[in-house]
Structure 1
Amino acid sequence: MKLTVVGGGYVGLTTGVCFAHLGHEVMVVEKIPQKVELLKAGKSPIYEPGLEELMQESLRAGRLSFTTDLKEGLEFSDVIFICVGTPQRPDGSADLSQVEEVARETAKLMTSYKLLIEKSTVPVNTHQLIKKTVQRYIKSPDIPYDVASNPEFLREGSAIEDFLKPDRIVVGVESERAKKIFEDLYKDFNCPIIFTDPATAELIKHASNSFLAMKISFMNMVADLCEKTGADIKLVADGMGYDKRIGREFLNAGIGYGGSCFPKDVKAFIRIAQDYGLDFGLLKEVDRINQERPIRFVEKVKSIFWSVKDKKLAVWGLAFKPNTDDIREAPSIKIVDMLLREGAKLSLYDPKAMENFKLLFPEGKGISYAKDPYSAVENAEALLILTEWEEFKKADLKRVKSLMALPIIVDGRNVYEPSEVRALGFEYYPVGR
């Protein structure tokens, strides 16, 4: 099939590259000319394992192209994936201006049938707003079109596998014509395909992310009790996870969730409910617990030292999760900011996210960036672990100890087994253990 993807960000680029990898012809429309030139050269502006390699493969095969021209994209295909950003407004609601712009400009350019597909995360009944916008700006009421919802469920760091081997595919449609297109598009996928109305599909996305965020906040709440009572949160999670009704995933305690989805989607879901006269108090508490996690971590660090002023602290991990360079809503941002305000001297290291982090925290004024994890800990009085990169799990802790001024590890991600680390002579402070 021929497919057009509007938006060359995380969702759009992954969607376009993966569909091209599966043999479809894909054109990605991106507004920023410099970004398009980078993509045409086979360079990904984001780090996602395997993405750049698949992109280069499809570029060479002629199945993938990039343009800044929406008109060219609409002439290329009748199937239009809307993958633009829906950033959070100050009141928690989603900013849908980019979605509105795509709908408006598409309507002005349409001369034949188009299937407009929401891939971006949007509030329930956004499809109605898209339809209303198209009706206002379309050249002729006789030009047919459909609006559908096909939410993405991609995890940063494993997006390629999530796209190619999904747990399920959710499609919200209102016509048989649109349904048939999706049936053809996804016929080779070996997973349940759930056809619903568009409103239900939109709601499934927000409900899924909010539920997963709730699991994380719940375990972080229990972790605090474990620390007070001497219980082990990892064993609590294992014991819960064997229950098929609960499952083990998303039961890891730590310094909270971050990224472009969970924080934004929880707040947006709260706001959506509020707009319909409902109070999602449960999700407000999920958000409150998550907001407190970095604060509790910094308080733990301060309690270990009495004062962190002028202390050299090494920080491993800046990305909100491993296998990505994304620092959006990363707990590291709040933790680093709070420690700097307390007068600490920080040596930071992350395998992929340092360049993004430097935009927020330039080198100097208590901040330095290390070339590797070992140089970060040289003469440090504590090591703070904020992201569970595999590189850190495999680190030579004997070497780490020999380089540090004081053998103290404050582990915000429970990377190590406490008994093993303490046996090496470290003071070790995990979460809930």
Structure 2
Amino acid sequence: MGKSDFLTPKAIANRIKAKGLQKLRWYCQMCQKQCRDENGFKCHCMSESHQRQMQVFGQAPDRVVEGFSEEFFESFLTLIRRAHRHSRVAATVVYNEYIADRHHVHMNSTRWATLTEFIKFLGREGYCKVEDTPKGWFITYIDRDSEQAVKARLKRKRIKSDLVEEERQERMIARQIERAQKSLAKANGGDDGSDAEGELESESQSDSEEEYSGSDDAQEDDAKETNKVTGKIAIALQKAAPGPKVNPYEDKTKAKFGFDEEEELGAREKKDEVAKKKGKDVKAAEPRRSALDELMKEEEKAKERSNRKDYWLCPGIVVKVMSKSLAEKGYYKQKGVVKRLIDKYVGEIEMLESKHVLRVDQDELETVIPQIGGLVRIVNGAYRGSNARLLSVDTEKFYAKVQVEKGLYDGKVLRAIEYEDICKIAQ
């Protein structure tokens, strides 16, 4: 049996040692590598891969520390939410459960030096109820996720019902106006009801003179009835006139997006052509959008605002390295595939040519646009996370036209997507 076989006593002893937690002083958080002794840690610090990671850390140390802090905070809070959601528990108990995972983010790589500072931070920000007792720090998770979700859902439902009710009332008023005009036309002897109020009064008076042969009282009564009917129609027309609608997002800035402008422009041109063929005025031919259409537009804009983030990296996409500091290593303007994310802004990139793995910040990366017909992933904006097919590109405006594939928006064509919002998918 050879020395490096799987069942040798040395190999078994090495695996037994690797199972437990090792000393924190011999752990490298940047490389996520645990060494068993001081000599191994020294050799690791002298390696080329560790030197590359330290160069990346030196370029943006605050962002790297903030990324580790955010990852530690989210993992710690997820553990409390999952295991101790409705209980009062000691902070040391939760921390011991958290560090039981060998691949956890160590606290010495975050902006909190001790567990006490981190627990005080949770209390100040309102994530947990913190108590300092003679037995140590105790925390209780404050569950606000379910309450906020219920309130947001009820608010959206109330806004939608109000808009639908308003549209229904407008349709009912329009039907009432139409019936009033028909009844007025019948009362005027078959007239279409489109004359002015003065003409209606004169015609009603002439009809009353013929019917009642010069009776002054009968003429006055008929004129009063006609004035009442025309007054009701005028009031109904004022109610049905297009007025300002209540916009649920009025307090926020209304951003115009490329796909909204092109869709509105195309619809407006079609309406203008139809109006010109019929010989009508363009402004008069343009119908008023229904409340349902406006609600859909507002929801799409709200989705754009909520999904527009300052980070866009995601696994499985092809990116181009634009860091001039890596030009000496031969990585400048070379393409690679994002294998995994370290945090929201930093990812591990496997270069396509050399197969080397680098840890690069997204500020030093650039999206890659494939050929026409290639698959892309929408990495930012309203349809963030969807896969799409590239249909065409506008090199002057730096826009792309894509068609979403699969999912909830299957087949939807997006006409004006910026280059930075889409990226080639690794085959």
Q: TM-score, normalised by structure 2?
A: 0.24
Q: TM-score, normalised by structure 1?
A: 0.24
